[in-house]
């Protein structure tokens, strides 16, 4: 048996707990996952476990990814679906969603075309394909939320933003993605996707804030908190009700990346 210690967060903690695959080391704020070769950090755990399931059929006898194949995943949040983009909309479960968020979830689901690829997509079989899936999903989210007329710019942004597979518990990754939004907005004044980009930026800044708090980056996290509040204010200046309710849903989440770091 081997112990693999990872930063505690929404997806690796819940997946391991559900699988009965380890224990929480409170003194070190770690989840210790035992006896499983498919252990990954952060939000990437459920993404990579999708990869694991996709290839498991060919190597199931080895037991290499058995834990991932058997690990049930927590019902995703609206923020997970929209801003992470590794799980299809069909996994959203209104019956198990927080009551105060159900009206927004209902309105969001009503905005998705019945034939949209967002409802269901196959787990990517490689990390390279996973990145492409996330880019495509990001573009489709903008189209669904803002309208078909934004498709060209939505795709241009989605296939340019430097999405990474895993932030490794550090602030640099999400902050880099947030900074990319600032650069894009400066080069594309009046862009029709601005309301979504402000929300995307806020999500990344909150993830960066949580990572900075967890790593005791005392000079950084107050700056990220201020930038997060500014991004949320800019998002709420939109005239689109769906943007407002997604912002409210994001604000209600106890965390988006690393648990226990408070809200910015």
Residues 6+ apart with CB under 8 A from 141: 82, 85, 118, 196
In a domain, 16, yes or no: yes
Q: How far apart are CA 135 and CA 118, in angstroms?
A: 12
In a domain, 173, yes or no: yes
In a domain, 88, yes or no: yes
Between the alpha carbon of residue 45 and those of residues 12, 56, 111, the distances in Å are 6, 15, 29
- Structural contact between residues 119 and 138, judged by C-beta atoms closer than 8 angstroms: no
Average pLDDT taken over every residue of the chain: 79
Sheet holding 3-7, edge to edge: 3-7, 30-34, 22-25
In a domain, 108, yes or no: yes
Whole-prediction pTM value? 0.77
Question: Predicted confidence band at 16 (pLDDT cuts at 50, 70, 90)?
Answer: very low
Clarify whether residues 209 and 239 are in a common domain: yes
Q: How far apart are CA 195 and CA 193, in angstroms?
A: 6
Clarify whether residues 143 and 93 are in a common domain: yes
Q: What is the pLDDT of residues 47-88, one digit of tens each?
A: 444 444 444 433 343 443 434 444 445 789 999 999 998 899
In a domain, 263, yes or no: no
Question: Predicted confidence band at 251 (pLDDT cuts at 50, 70, 90)?
Answer: very high
In a domain, 38, yes or no: yes
Q: What is the pLDDT of residues 179-211, one digit of tens each?
A: 999 999 999 999 999 999 999 999 999 999 999
Clarify whether residues 139 and 173 are in a common domain: yes
Boundary of a domain, candidates 50, 70, 90: 70
Clarify whether residues 170 and 65 are in a common domain: no
Clarify whether residues 54 and 32 are in a common domain: yes
Instruction: Give 10 or 114, the one with higher predicted confidence.
Output: 114
In a domain, 9, yes or no: yes
- Our count of domains for the chain comes to 2
Q: Is the pLDDT of residue 24 over 90?
A: no
Beta-ladder partners of 31: 6, 24
- Give the three-state DSSP class for 185: helix
Boundary of a domain, candidates 70, 103, 119: 70
Clarify whether residues 103 and 224 are in a common domain: yes
Clarify whether residues 20 and 46 are in a common domain: yes
Clarify whether residues 30 and 88 are in a common domain: no
Residue 171: closest CA among 128, 139, 218: 218
| Structure confidence at residue 73 (pLDDT) | 57
Clarify whether residues 140 and 192 are in a common domain: yes
Clarify whether residues 105 and 173 are in a common domain: yes
Boundary of a domain, candidates 47, 70, 93: 70
Clarify whether residues 152 and 232 are in a common domain: yes
Structural domain range at position 224: 78-252
In a domain, 142, yes or no: yes
Clarify whether residues 141 and 47 are in a common domain: no
- List the structure tokens of 84: 């992470």
């Amino acid at each position: 048996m081997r112990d693999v210690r990872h930063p505690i967060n929404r997806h690796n903690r819940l997946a391991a707990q559900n699988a009965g695959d380890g224990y929480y080391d409170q003194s070190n704020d770690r989840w210790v996952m035992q006896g499983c070769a498919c252990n990954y950090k952060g939000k990437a755990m459920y993404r990579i476990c999708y990869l694991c399931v996709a290839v498991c059929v060919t190597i199931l006898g080895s037991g290499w990814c058995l834990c991932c194949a058997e690990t049930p995943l927590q019902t995703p949040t609206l923020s997970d679906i929209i801003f992470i983009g590794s799980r299809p909309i069909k996994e959203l479960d209104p019956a198990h969603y927080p009551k105060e968020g159900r009206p927004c979830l209902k309105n969001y689901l009503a905005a998705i075309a019945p034939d949209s690829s967002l409802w269901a997509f196959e787990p990517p079989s490689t990390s390279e394909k996973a990145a492409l899936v996330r880019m495509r999903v990001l573009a489709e989210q903008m189209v669904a939320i803002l309208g078909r007329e934004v498709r060209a710019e939505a795709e241009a942004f989605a296939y340019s933003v430097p999405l990474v597979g895993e932030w490794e518990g550090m602030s640099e990754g999400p902050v880099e993605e947030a900074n990319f939004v600032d650069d894009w907005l400066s080069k594309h004044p009046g862009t029709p996707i601005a309301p979504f980009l402000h929300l995307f930026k806020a999500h990344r800044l909150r993830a960066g804030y949580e990572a900075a708090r967890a790593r005791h980056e005392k000079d950084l996290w107050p700056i990220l908190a201020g930038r997060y509040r500014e991004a949320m204010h800019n998002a709420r200046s939109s005239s689109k009700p769906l943007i407002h309710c997604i912002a409210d849903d994001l604000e209600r989440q106890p965390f988006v990346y690393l648990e226990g770091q408070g809200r910015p």
